[in-house]
Amino acid sequence: MRKFIVALVAILAMIGVGVFSYQYVQNKNYDETIKAAQKAVKAQDWRKAETDYKQAQSIKMTPETRTAETQLSHAIKAQDAVDDENWHLAQSQYRTALEVDDGLTNINSAIQEALNEVNRKNEAAEKASQASAAQASAASAASESAARESYAAQDRAESMAKKQASEAAAKAKAHSKSHTDTKTSHTSSTSHSDH
């Protein structure tokens, strides 16, 4: 019986050591994965951070990993909007990520930095848009003015052409009349001389 108890204690000790070792390795893997995720967050590599947090969650389910996944889901959508230069959607998604209950400090800091950058880009885009609209308006006004000037020049040219044609017709008529009068007078004088 004594051998049995010693064997049982040895088996229980080995099981305890095995469980302890397993827990130690799991905790170590979890910590390493969380550190990798935090590093990705700092670099604003949202997709890698999300992958790392999901891996950490598969090792050990914690509120930190669930919260991180929620925040990073919005950050990824925001980054996609940034890539499409859709600044308003990016701002909205980053703000939503910041409003997640019990948001993680490191993720909030990185998202706030990204949001500040998006705000700067949005402001620059709005200024460029306003400048472009002003240039387009000025170009449109210049084009309209040039078109009016062109029409006026065309009208003047047509008016001059009509005037010249009218004057030419009047000269031709006058010349024709004087030529006809000369013929008539010449014919009259010829007929008088025949008498």
Determine contact, residues 53/76, Cβ cutoff 8 Å: no
Rounded to an integer, what distance in angstroms lies between the CA atom of residue 138 and that of residue 144?
A: 10
Spell out the per-residue pLDDT of the chain, length 195, in tens.
888 888 888 888 899 888 888 888 888 999 999 999 999 999 999 999 999 999 999 999 999 999 999 999 999 999 999 999 999 999 999 999 999 999 999 999 999 999 999 999 999 988 887 877 777 776 776 677 766 777 767 777 777 777 777 777 677 676 666 655 555 555 554 444 444
pLDDT of residue 72: 97
| Residue-by-residue DSSP string for 173-195 | HHHHHHHHHHHHHHHHHHHHHH-
pLDDT of residue 181: 55
pLDDT of residue 131: 75
Task: List Cβ neighbours of 89 (8 Å cut-off, separation of 6 or more).
Answer: 77, 78, 81
Determine contact, residues 22/10, Cβ cutoff 8 Å: no
pLDDT of residue 154: 78
